[in-house]
Structure 1
Amino acid sequence: MSVPAPSPESPRLPLPLPPARLVQVLGERPSPVVGWLANRVMDAVCALPDSWRDGLARFVGWLAFTLGIRLRVALENLTHAYPELSDAERRKIALGAYITMARVVLESIDEKEHVETGWEDSQREVQGEAWEALKASVAKGQGALLVTAHFGNWERAGKMLLRRGIPLNALVRPLKGALNMRIVDNRLAAGAGLIYPKGAIAEAQEAVRLGESVLMLLDQSLPAKAAVFVPFFGRPASTTPAMAVVAERTGAPVFVVMGIRDESGRKLRLEVEGPILPPEGLNGRDAFTAHTAAVTAVLEKYVRRYPDQWLWLHRRWKVQPPPEAPATPQG
């Protein structure tokens, strides 16, 4: 069933508790003094009015772009993805990606439950057959596999799902530093369980059997031996087969979930697509590759639709397939 949006006059819905087995935090915390000081600075930033914080995000994004931090990587990626665009058009997309990243960071360190412009927008009901199919799966006590990307605000998108009654465990990497650890703590406070790469497939299978859903980012590069290679913007991209493996072993449905910003950049809406079924007539690695390719194609569709909301700053195509493992052809 759907979760109604709280009104300013009504109490907010309590956040769920993450599964007890998935609350372990792996990573490296700063020293107590550094951690305390960093958190007080982040508290001060979070206390700013929404419009000020968004202005700060825009400035930080512009500054990183102007200083050229990873700009060469972003422009190389955009040149391959959009050869038909002018350099000025590609630079405009890149600037938007920097601002998106700054917004994600500032929004993700906030520990408070806002009932402000962005929060109210995120509480609007999600529409569509895919959302209804996902809710129906959860209502029957069945887990689902949810796929997203470094797009819009993936952290808030997960929280939006939790607020709508979707039990959620996120596949994450161990992090370090005060900022990253604050984001991890906020994930747990929001009700998400944490699944780390070591033993991730077994943990994800267990979560699905318990009726929980697993959220994973499918746009990160992996070493060639651990990856399948699928087309992404016309180039082979090394991608984890974990989603396809767990789907095959559990029969869990696969949905793409994207948190998309509006034109102002401050409001977010949730879009769900699926279930994306595994291919018929294939087995083993071929089936995992084809299923991963189908889901990646949906991610690419959203990136093409909103190119400034994806992080072109990371080396998505840095790992190339070995000669014996060619990429799956498009079409």
Structure 2
Amino acid sequence: MSSSPSPSSSLTRIPPAPRLSQVMGERPSAGVGWLANRVMDALSALPASVRDGLARFVGWLAFTLGIRRRVALENLAHAFPEKSEAERRGIALEAYITMARVVIESIDTRDHVDLSWAAPEASGDWEALKAHVATGQGALLVTAHFGNWERAGKLFVQRGIPLNALVRPLKGALNMRIVDNRVAAGAGLIYPKGAIAQAQEAVGLGESVLMLLDQALPAKAAVFVPFFGRPASTTPAMAVVAQRTGAPVFVVMGVRDASGRILRLEVEGPIPAPTVQEGQDPIAAHTAAVTAVLERHIRRNPGQWLWLHRRWKVQPPTESLAPGGTERA
């Protein structure tokens, strides 16, 4: 698709700074890359119903074979102790299908990807976000591995939101194809090294920054905040940039309907920094407040989050958290 906004958008696309658009990662050899891309081209050319049927089969197969199934079910047992084992297995299976759908949907490199299946109007606080961006100022957008986070980002660019995504360097033909698609869609890329400075630069350019806030970091680089009742290692970058720039924070989610094919944008915000009590870390408190909003969205559609992700693998240096998400001394 083109990096220009849709004709109906009244917002002007500001191209990302060249430094923010560089693609970093480890590409496969020329022969392997060529073959893998031809296979992905053929898959992308299949009718949408066939691709979705394939995603359902692949998700079912991965779940049936037990690939990270124990991780998913243990995570769900902690998050939803009130649900039956059968209910949790059903949620886990849906999560596997969600992951397969994301992969299959994200490898399409055609210039004009058909997004006609996407809901025409975003829900929630979309108008507040659009009005803010229309003033030429950037915002901080927070999401999770939920629904289809790749397509959600593409929809924001298509609707005229200048966007830079905070990502990790990847490797392999599949991952590099997805990364290339992000740039082709018109999104800039920000990598972990120097991420805070680059995010501040993007906001200063009037662009928004999209961050996934549900990835584990090494304990020394993270703040630990409550997530489904357990302390979760979380990047402080979002809260730090919000504090330094004054940019508003919005939680944005690409939510699938019951069919799995219709995607709507849910927007919540702006989320103000919480009133910090004496002895609390304001960065951890703000991160905890935004994470609580993410959790609320995931609880509404639990099968759309990646429960097979080892979200709680990094343990905090202390055994418990103080109110508001800060660590007890």
Q: TM class by shorter-chain length? A: over 0.9
Indicate conservation of the 8 Å contact 2:236/2:284, yes or no.
Answer: yes
CA deviation profile, 1:246-291 (whole Å, cap 9, x unmatched)? 0000000000000000000011000100000012245897111111
What corresponds to 1:29 in structure 2?
A: 27
How many residues in Structure 1 have an aligned counterpart in Structure 2? 320
Given that residues 250 and 271 in structure 2 are in contact (C-alpha distance below 8 angstroms), is that contact kept between their aligned partners in structure 1? yes
User: Which residue among 220, 229, 236 is the counterpart of 1:234?
Assistant: 229
Give 1:1-331 correspondences, 5 Å limit: 17-112=15-110, 116=114, 119-122=115-118, 124-128=120-124, 130-281=125-276, 286-323=281-318, 326-329=320-323
Moved more, 139-148 or 84-93: 84-93
> Structure 1 residues 3, 136: closer, same or farther in 2, change over 3 A?
farther
| CA distance in 1 between partners of 2:14 and 2:24 (Å) | 21
Measure how far apart 1:21 and its partner are: 2.1
Identical-residue share of aligned pairs (%): 77
Alpha-carbon displacement from aligned partner over 1:29-84 (angstroms, at most 9, x marks no partner): 00000000000000000000000000000000001001100001001101111111
Structure 1 unaligned spans of 5+: 7-12
Q: SS of the counterpart of 2:117?
A: helix
Deviation of the 1:194 alpha carbon: 0.3
| Two-structure CA RMSD over aligned residues (Å) | 2.2
Compute the TM-score of the two structures, normalised by the length of structure 2.
0.92
1:78-110 deviations in Å (ceiling 9; x for gaps): 111111111111111000000000000000001
Distance in 2 of aligned mates of 1:283 and 1:51: 56
Distance 2:230 2:43 in 1: 40
**Cα distance change, pair 76–102 in 1 and its aligned pair in 2 (3 A):** same
Secondary structure at the aligned position of 1:247 is classed as helix
The Cα shift of 1:25 comes to 1.1
Q: For residues 220-266 of structure 1, give each alpha carbon's deviation from its aligned partner in whole angstroms, at most 9, with x where no partner exists.
A: 11111111111111111110010000000000000000000000001
- Secondary structure of 2:108's partner? coil
Q: Check 1:115–1:177 CA distance in 2 against 1; reply closer, same or farther (3 A cut).
A: closer
Show the counterpart of 1:10. none
Please state how far the C-alpha of 1:214 moved relative to its aligned partner: 0.2
Which stretches in structure 2 are left out of the alignment for 5+ residues?
none
- State the TM-score, normalizing by the size of structure 1: 0.92
1:16 touches 1:162 (CA, 8 Å); kept in 2?
no
Q: Secondary structure at the match of 1:165?
A: coil
Separation in 1, partners of 2:279, 2:126: 29
One-letter identity of the residue aligned with 1:46: S
